[in-house]
Amino acid sequence: MHRIIEPKILYFGTPVVLISTRNPDRSFNLAPMSSAWWLNQSCMLGMSGRSKTVENLLREGQGVLNLPSTELVGAVDRLALTTGRNPVPESKAEIGYRYEPDKFGISGLTPIPADLVNAPLVAECPIQLEAQVEQVHAFDEQNGSIKAIEMRILRVHIAEDLLVPGASNYIDPEKWSPLIMNFCEFFGLSGKIHPSRLEPAFYGLPRKTEPATNIVAPA
């Protein structure tokens, strides 16, 4: 049986991204977000145009998409309800946001210089993606302030222990543990079910002919 409901939010579970950007005074901003999806060498970000992050991305045209693992949930949560915007936009002040100029300091995360962009990498994040803004679209769901920002990934930094041994360009999905925002709660992944039939096509391996019939339920 299904029911028709009207949920307040439709956050069905996506990885958290910590976006670092440069402020006009050359200090750095850092903000958590999770409305992000990936295609080829690009990422689409859905973010409020009232955020400091969007202001910085539009002005500088670049930033770093840092992916926190589940272990960094405390640092991500310390950044919640803060903004680099001063004064705090009214709609955010009403729900308890405060201005915070030192996002790295309050989160306990460490900025280190990137190679190609003017925003820092977050040292503790196992995946750090230097990126440039390609296109900005309006995302007019409510009041038109939300932007869909297409970012092209310029350089990928990976913690070595996430790599498949002996294969320098392959990330082992069994070792990567993304932090997932599922509605307004943090989750990790629950474990592998079985490989996708897409896998050989993506990695240029011999095609498997048999359909995936023996589906094993996760433990």
Ligand X SMILES: Cc1cc2nc3c(=O)[nH]c(=O)nc-3n(C[C@H](O)[C@H](O)[C@H](O)COP(=O)(O)O)c2cc1C
Instruction: Mark the segment that binds ligand X (CB under 6 A) among 59-67, 76-84, 128-136, 154-162.
Output: 76-84
Residue 165 CB, shortest distance to ligand X, in Å, is 32
- State the Cα–Cα distance between residues 80 and 85, nearest whole angstrom: 14
Q: Is 42 in the site for ligand X (CB under 6 A)?
A: no
Applying CB under 6 A, the site for ligand X has a residue count of 19
End-to-end CA distance of the chain: 26
Q: To the nearest whole angstrom, how small is the minimum distance from the Cβ of residue 191 to ligand X? A: 22
Check binding of 48 to ligand X (CB under 6 A): yes
Strands of the 17-22 sheet, one edge to the other: 28-33, 17-22, 62-67, 127-139, 146-158, 42-48, 36-39
Cα–Cα distance measured from residue 31 to residue 51, given in angstroms and rounded to the nearest whole number: 9
- Tell me how far, at minimum, the Cβ of 80 lies from ligand X, in Å: 4
Q: Choose between 89 and 163: whose C-beta lies nearer to ligand X.
A: 89
83 contributes a contact to ligand X by CB under 6 A: yes
Kindly state the smallest distance separating residue 107's Cβ from ligand X, in Å. Answer: 11
CA 146: distance to chain centroid? 16
What is the spatial distance between Cα 54 and Cα 200, in angstroms, rounded to a whole number?
Answer: 38
Site for ligand X in 117-146 (CB under 6 A): none
Q: Which of 20, 53, 107, 128 binds ligand X (CB under 6 A)?
A: 53
For residue 181, state whether it binds ligand X (rule: CB under 6 A). Answer: yes
Q: Is 69 in the site for ligand X (CB under 6 A)?
A: no
The DSSP annotation for 109-153 comes to --EE--SSSSS-EETT-SEEEEEEEEEEEEE-SSSS-EEEEEEEE
Q: How many CB atoms lie under 10 A from the CB of residue 180?
A: 17
Rounded CA gap, 109 and 135, in Å?
A: 29
The answer to the question of residue 85 lying near ligand X (CB under 6 A) is: yes
Q: What are phi and psi of 91, to 5 degrees?
A: -65, -30
Tell me the two tokens of residue 13. Answer: 């579970």
Q: Which of 20, 22, 28, 31 touches ligand X (CB under 6 A)? A: 31
- Report if residue 64 touches ligand X, rule: CB under 6 A: no
Kindly tell me which of 32 and 126 has the beta carbon lying closer to ligand X: 32
Residue 52 as a binder of ligand X (CB under 6 A): the answer is yes
Residues of this chain that interact with ligand X (CB under 6 A) are 16, 29, 31-35, 46-48, 51-53, 76, 80, 83-85, 181
